[in-house]
Amino acid sequence: MAGIKNADGKSVLLKMAAAIQENKAYLSEVDGLIGDGDHGVNMNKGFTMFAERIQDDTLTFTEGLDTLGTLLFTEIGGSMGPIYGTLFMDMAGAGGDSDVIDTGTLAAMLRAGLDGLYDVVEARPGDKTLVDTLVPALEALEDAKDKGMDFTAALECMKAAAAEGRDATVDMVAKYGRSSRLGERSRGVLDAGAASCCILLTAMAEGMQVLAEN
Amino acid sequence: MQRIINDPDHIVDEMLKGYLKAHSDIVAPTGNPRVVMRADMPGDKVGLVTGGGSGHKPGFIGYVGQNMCDAVAVGEIFSSPTAAAFLDAFRAVNCGKGVACLYGNYSGDNMNVKMAIKMAKKEGIDVKTVVANDDVPSAPKDEREKRRGVAGEILMWKAAGAKAAQGASLDDVIAIAQKAIDSTRSVGIGITPCTLPAVGHPNFEIKDGTMEVGIGHHGEPGIEVCPLEPAAQIAKRMVDIVLPDYPFTAGDEVVVLVSGLGATPVMELYVLYDEIDNLLGARGIKTHRAYVGNYFTSLDMMGATLTVMKLDSELKALIDEPCYAMGLKQI
């Protein structure tokens, strides 16, 4: 199949939540190196609440994303609330009532999410934030779409680009967010937001690949 | 980690329950469980709102009370409150004269406050902000706008709270809050790390026998790690960072606030304060009023912060006004 049915997408969202739960300690550890060490705790809290809340609901991928974004935005706070809240809500808005989510739809959703994010944060590529994971992942997806790549292969490219983007934050000096005050001392470690963004995009891609292959 | 807790993920909500019971003469709950307001909110003044992450007790919530803040938005430990909580706090204390939101300079707070203000505007609530940036080591002087807000926020709330209680306009309250924080400088020294209860172990390291100069209120790394020194040398380091930055000079009258970071015994804070006062005195700086104790903490971190505020006649009168909040009771 060239994509997934939007109606089947709940399993993808649960996979994203599970990935955050599994990586709670890892994310807090990464955050603790140059931040305050609460990233894993707060991400876990938000995604666990989300998974519990949608447990018995029938919802599409885009409906679920909107629920997730709203929950993070209104109930979790931190930096993560407005950042991921905006990203997911705007992605859901762009996906809308699509029956099928294919490479083009997903790219358009991520592009809308990034645009929304840029309204909220000043961070741009190179600033050692989750933008450094998101932008290459999105560009890889758009590139795959232009090349007419198969959905599963396109998601594979997106995953690889997300991981590369995340790893590139090691050598960057933080220019935005809490670690930006460290200047040179922020160099040499991953950015926690870039790490969580990579976990989420990877889990999303893998969840979609499972659906697309069945 | 040995703690008096139940489920660490519920610590903030459980703390709030106890706090509201213990201090019902000062604070009251609101429709939003993460917003606490004054029990005796007057109906005809500029509302004073602050907010921030938990774990700084009496930080934030303890400064809600008479002649101080009117409402506080409460976040998770070391994490900004939601935009919804800031908005509900604005709503709770808006009497039609507008709301002054006086908070620290953290990216999460900045984003959530910005979004809450956008939503408040749609409802016709006039909100203006002052962002505290008293922590000297957190950025160079020419980038003061990047500095964190730390214990100096208490003095900002004290001055602005007194001004608002006098019936001042929103613009006048904002002006005095800005002047208060512009006149204030802080520095922190950490000697042990702190542990988030839900994490269970420290997320950063301060090696035994060392101290981190310029540490942030969440353990953000400072400017220098050096061997732990006697209180006299620690005091000198702190004074040498704070004084030249403003700069505070001979003849100045100041408020001095020495706060523990949570786990340092209060008696040690007085040892530190004595050394600080000696150093200020030697430079001809006169301490008009001193606060020593756990005023703004970082969970179980050991260490202390020094905050110095330069007084003019206006700030002096406002700082001397009485106030009644859990974290600051002044007759």
Q: Could you tell me if B242 and B218 are in contact, meaning their C-beta atoms sit under 8 angstroms apart?
A: no
- Residue B220 is predicted with a pLDDT of 85
> Which of the residues B5, B10, B78 would you substitute to probe the A interface, choosing the one with the greatest number of A C-beta atoms within 10 Å?
B78
Residues of B in contact with A180 (CB under 8 A): 146
* % of chain B beyond a pLDDT of 90: 91
Return per-residue pLDDT of chain B as tens, 331 residues: 899 999 998 999 999 999 999 999 999 999 999 999 999 999 999 999 999 999 999 999 999 999 999 999 999 998 899 999 999 999 999 999 999 999 999 988 999 999 899 889 989 999 999 999 999 999 999 999 989 999 999 999 999 999 999 999 999 999 999 999 999 999 999 999 999 898 888 878 899 999 999 999 988 888 899 999 999 999 999 999 999 999 999 999 999 999 999 999 999 999 999 999 999 999 999 999 999 999 999 999 999 999 999 999 999 999 999 999 999 999 9
Q: Is B218 an annotated catalytic residue?
A: yes
The 3-class secondary structure across B241-287, one letter per residue, is HHHHHCCCCCCCEEEEEEEECECCCHHHHHHHHHHHHHHHHHCCCEE
* Selection from B326, B304, B300 nearest residue B4 by Cα: B300
Is ipTM strictly over 0.85? no
Residue in chain B closest to A185 (alpha carbons) equals: B221
Domains of chain B: which residue ranges? 10-183, 184-311
Q: Report the top-level CATH class of B10-183.
A: alpha beta
Residues of A in contact with B82 (CB under 8 A): 73-77, 81
Q: Does residue A39 have a pLDDT over 90?
A: no
> d(Cα B81, Cα B115) in Å, to the nearest integer?
12
- Residue A73 is predicted with a pLDDT of 86
Identity at A26, one-letter amino acid code: Y
Residue in chain B closest to A30 (alpha carbons) equals: B203
Out of 3.20.20.370, 3.50.50.100, 3.40.430.10, 3.30.1180.20, which CATH number does the structure's domain B184-311 have?
Answer: 3.30.1180.20
Q: Identify the band that residue A202 occupies on the pLDDT scale cut at 50, 70 and 90.
A: very high
Task: Please state, in angstroms and as integers, the Cα–Cα distance from residue A166 to each residue in A83, A198, B166, following that order.
Answer: 17, 7, 53
Task: Please state, in angstroms and as integers, the Cα–Cα distance from residue A125 to each residue in A83, A133, A156, B69, following that order.
Answer: 15, 9, 22, 39
Longest dimension (CA), chain B: 55
> How many contacts, defined by CB atoms under 8 Å, are there between A and B?
111
Q: Identify the band that residue A175 occupies on the pLDDT scale cut at 50, 70 and 90.
A: confident
- Residue B308 is predicted with a pLDDT of 98
Element (H, E) at B169: none
Element (H, E) at B183: none
> d(Cα A119, Cα A126) in Å, to the nearest integer?
17
CA angle at B111 for the pair B110 and B116, rounded to the nearest 5°: 100
Condensed to tens digits (0 to 9), the pLDDT of residues A83-117 reads 999 999 999 999 998 999 999 999 999 999 999 99
- Residue B58 is predicted with a pLDDT of 97
Q: Is A36 in Cβ contact with B218 (below 8 Å)? A: yes
Condensed to tens digits (0 to 9), the pLDDT of residues A150-162 reads 999 999 999 999 9
CA-based nearest distance A200→chain B, Å: 20
> d(Cα A194, Cα A58) in Å, to the nearest integer?
31
The two beta strands, B302-310 and B323-325, are: unpaired
- Residue A38 is predicted with a pLDDT of 77
Q: Identify the band that residue A178 occupies on the pLDDT scale cut at 50, 70 and 90.
A: low
B33 in contact with A, Cβ within 8 Å: no
Q: At A56, list the tokens.
A: 């018995």
- Residue A186 is predicted with a pLDDT of 84
Which residue among the candidates B10, B23, B56, B288 is catalytic per the annotation?
Answer: B56
Q: Is B62 exposed, middle or buried (0-12, 13-18, 19+ CB in 10 A)?
A: buried
Phi and psi angles of residue B38, each rounded to the nearest 5 degrees, phi first: -65, 145
A3-213 is a CATH 1.10.3720.10 domain: no
* % of chain A beyond a pLDDT of 70: 97
* Other beta carbons within 10 Å of B29: 15
- Residue B118 is predicted with a pLDDT of 85
Q: Identify the band that residue A56 occupies on the pLDDT scale cut at 50, 70 and 90.
A: very high
Condensed to tens digits (0 to 9), the pLDDT of residues B88-124 reads 999 999 999 999 999 999 988 999 999 899 889 989 9
Which residue among the candidates B23, B217, B218, B288 is catalytic per the annotation?
Answer: B218
Nearest-CB residue to A81 (from B82, B114, B139): B82
* Selection from A192, A201, A152 nearest residue A34 by Cα: A192
Q: Is B56 an annotated catalytic residue?
A: yes
- Residue B266 is predicted with a pLDDT of 98
> d(Cα A198, Cα A83) in Å, to the nearest integer?
14
- Residue B119 is predicted with a pLDDT of 87
- Residue B180 is predicted with a pLDDT of 98
Q: Could you tell me if A58 and A50 are in contact, meaning their C-beta atoms sit under 8 angstroms apart?
A: no
